[in-house]
Amino acid sequence: MSVLTLGNENFKEEVLNSEKQVLVDFYADWCGPCKMMSPIIDEIAEELGENVKVGKINVDNNQELAIQYDVMSIPTIMIFNKGNIVKTFIGVTDKNEILGYLK
Amino acid sequence: MYDVIIIGAGPAGVSASLYTKRANKKTLIIHNDNGGLKKAQKIENYYGFENGIEGEELYQIGIKQAENIGVEVKKEEIIKIESANEKFKVVTDLNIYEANSIIIAIGTKRNKANIKGIKELEGKGISYCAICDGFFYRNKNVSVIGSGNYALSETNDLLPIANKITILTNGEKAPEFRADNVEVITKPIEKIEGKNKVEEVLFKDNTKIKTEGIFIAQGTAGSIELAKKIGLVTTDNGNIKVNEKMETNIKGIYACGDCTGDILQVSKAVYEGAVAGLEVIKYLKNK
């Protein structure tokens, strides 16, 4: 499944109201480590296909969301289930470690 | 432009260099002369030394062996590694070097200053990368723990962003650094406190200061700091994650020796260094 671009306008609908688990990657274009995380997120989206929703949030354009979810370090990856955060990874994280929480 | 820059001159870094240099790859080793082997008293469990050998002696022989075959060896302090388009920049306290590949063989900090609260509040106000996370501390009061060049480099990255920066040397001598919005406190730290995020630093003399973010930059930049800045996957123990080819998650960056965890032994470092060296040669050929 392709990776969604998330932001204030669609966060409620795509993440909080989602029936599926949602993986959210908070990132910024100027953040070096985020660039290394990005292909890992893309691979996860590809591997899990329709089972999980995967999206990215640019913190520069969506500061309210970053503040609301206490993001203080990027990349931060959160897994949402039925509107609640069930797991948070801070910093570049191994693909298999993330997959372990999604299957 | 180097074919490969190796960070660290211990058994892993030197072994890697022996392979890359012999394959005619332009090889530079940068080290801070502070390796674990250097501090080891007597190595008695390594092949070929019937009476054992002093760690310092083995370390110096290794560097000489690399130099003898034409490896450049420089004693400088690493500040960070940057990447762009599969090329890498290594920034030290004195220079900037460029390379097509990197081998991290920087060892592990054996005496990590273990301040209570760091682990618990990681990502909740504790950061290892000013340039990555400074954004979240715009106009806030933050602290940098450390006193060396690396701490000053982190402070510099925060200067245009933060409201006020307090350098906490944790008992070390105050650095020579003056700026309007920078204060230095040399008192030893007892712990970092905060419920859901960093709130206060408590000193051993029972005084405290309020702070909204803490950047960890003690001593020289170690594997964890280098890894977090460039985006290498690390393990829970703070080691760099590699596969059996010593590849990290970033193409062109390899890691070997103590910084990848497991047994902290010369034999393991030599093996991993050899693998990393050989893999880098293959990588450069296919580039």
ipTM of the shown complex:
0.81
Contact check, Cβ <8 Å, B129/A72: no
pLDDT for B128: 87
Contact check, Cβ <8 Å, B233/A73: no
Residue A102 lies in a domain: no
Q: Other CB atoms closer than 10 Å to residue A21's CB: what's the count?
A: 19
pLDDT for B159: 94
Domain at B126-216, CATH from 3.40.50.360, 3.30.930.10, 3.50.50.60, 3.30.70.100: 3.50.50.60
Tell me how close the Cα of A97 comes to any Cα of chain B, in angstroms: 10
pTM: 0.88
Q: What topology is assigned to B2-109+222-286 in CATH? A: FAD/NAD(P)-binding domain (3.50.50)
At B184, list the tokens: 């230095």
pLDDT at A3 > cutoff 90 = yes
| Annotation says A33 is catalytic | no
Distance, first Cα to last Cα, chain B: 15
Taking alpha carbons only, the member of B270, B235, B263 closest to residue B249 is B235
CA-nearest residue to A27 within chain B is: B132
Neighboring chain A residues of B158 at a CB cutoff of 8 Å: none
Contact check, Cβ <8 Å, A91/B123: yes
Query: What is the C-alpha separation between B167 and B155, in angstroms, rounded?
Result: 8
pLDDT for A34: 94
Query: How is chain B split into domains, by residue range?
Result: 2-109+222-286, 126-216
Mean pLDDT of chain B: 93
Count the domains in chain A: 1
- Are B144 and B167 contacting, i.e. CB atoms less than 8 angstroms apart? yes
pLDDT at B30 > cutoff 60 = yes
CA-nearest residue to A38 within chain B is: B231
Domain harbouring A60, CATH code: 3.40.30.10
H helix runs in B78-129, sequence order? none
pLDDT for B41: 83
Query: What is the C-alpha separation between B255 and B247, in angstroms, rounded?
Result: 7
Contact B228/A at CB under 8 A:
yes
Tell me how close the Cα of B132 comes to any Cα of chain A, in angstroms: 5
**CA A25 to centroid of chain Cα atoms:** 3
Query: What is the C-alpha separation between B18 and B105, in angstroms, rounded?
Result: 14
3-state secondary structure (DSSP) of residue B157: helix
| Annotation says A34 is catalytic | yes
pLDDT for B113: 59
CA-nearest residue to A89 within chain B is: B123
For A76-96, how does the pLDDT look when each residue is reduced to its tens digit (9 = 90+)? Answer: 999 999 999 999 999 999 999
**Mean pLDDT of the region B123-142:** 90
Answer whether B2-109+222-286 and B126-216 agree in fold: yes
pLDDT at A58 > cutoff 70 = yes
